[in-house]
Chain A
Amino acid sequence: MASPVPVKEKKLMDVKLGELPGWILMRDFTPRGIAGAFQRGYYRYYNKYVNVKKGSVAGISMVLAAYVLFNYCRCYKELKHERLRKYH
Chain B
Amino acid sequence: MNENLFTSFTTPTMMGLPVVVLIIMFPSILFPSPNRLINNRLVSLQQWLVQLTSKQMLAIHNHKGQTWALMLMSLILFIGSTNLLGLLPHSFTPTTQLSMNLGMAIPLWAGTVVTGFRHKTKASLAHFLPQGTPIPLIPMLVIIETISLFIQPVALAVRLTANITAGHLLMHLIGGATLALTNINASVALITFIILILLTVLEFAVALIQAYVFTLLVSLYLHDNT
Residue of B nearest to A73 (CB): B14
Residue of B nearest to A59 (CB): B42
Residue of B8, B26, B85 touching A75 (CB-CB under 8 A): B8
A52 to B19, CA, bound (A): 32
Flag whether A46 is at the interface (Cβ < 8 A).
yes
Flag whether B12 is at the interface (Cβ < 8 A).
yes
Residue of A nearest to B39 (CB): A51
Q: Which DSSP category, helix, strand, loop or mixed, fits chain A's interface? A: helix
Given contacts A67-B91, A71-B88, contact A54 B41 (CB under 8 A): yes
Flag whether B130 is at the interface (Cβ < 8 A).
no
A67 touches B88 (CB 8 A): yes
Residue of B40, B42, B85 touching A67 (CB-CB under 8 A): B85
Residue of A53, A54, A63, A75 touching B30 (CB-CB under 8 A): A63
Residue of A51, A64, A74 touching B40 (CB-CB under 8 A): A51
Q: Which residues of B contact A42 (CB under 8 A)?
A: 29
Residue of B nearest to A69 (CB): B90
A3 to chain B, nearest CB (A): 38
Residue of B nearest to A81 (CB): B4
Residue of B29, B30, B40, B89 touching A55 (CB-CB under 8 A): B40
A50 touches B14 (CB 8 A): no
Number of interface residues of B (CB under 8 A): 19
Total A-B pairs, Cβ < 8 A: 50
Q: Which residues of B contact A64 (CB under 8 A)?
A: 85, 88
B4 touches A50 (CB 8 A): no
Q: Which residues of B contact A78 (CB under 8 A)?
A: 4, 7
A38 to chain B, nearest CB (A): 11
A32 to B29, CA, bound (A): 20
Flag whether B16 is at the interface (Cβ < 8 A).
no
Pairs across A and B, CB under 8 Å, 17 listed: A50-B40, A51-B40, A54-B41, A59-B42, A60-B42, A67-B85, A67-B88, A71-B88, A71-B91, A73-B14, A75-B12, A75-B90, A78-B4, A78-B7, A79-B90, A81-B4, A82-B4
Known: A51-B32, A67-B88, A68-B89. 13 other contacts (CB 8 A): A42-B29, A52-B40, A53-B40, A55-B42, A59-B42, A63-B29, A63-B30, A67-B85, A67-B91, A71-B89, A71-B91, A71-B92, A79-B90
Chain A residues near B (Cβ < 8 Å): 42, 46, 50-55, 59-60, 63-64, 67-68, 71-75, 78-79, 81-82
Chain B residues near A (Cβ < 8 Å): 4, 7-8, 12, 14, 19, 26, 29-30, 32, 40-42, 85, 88-92
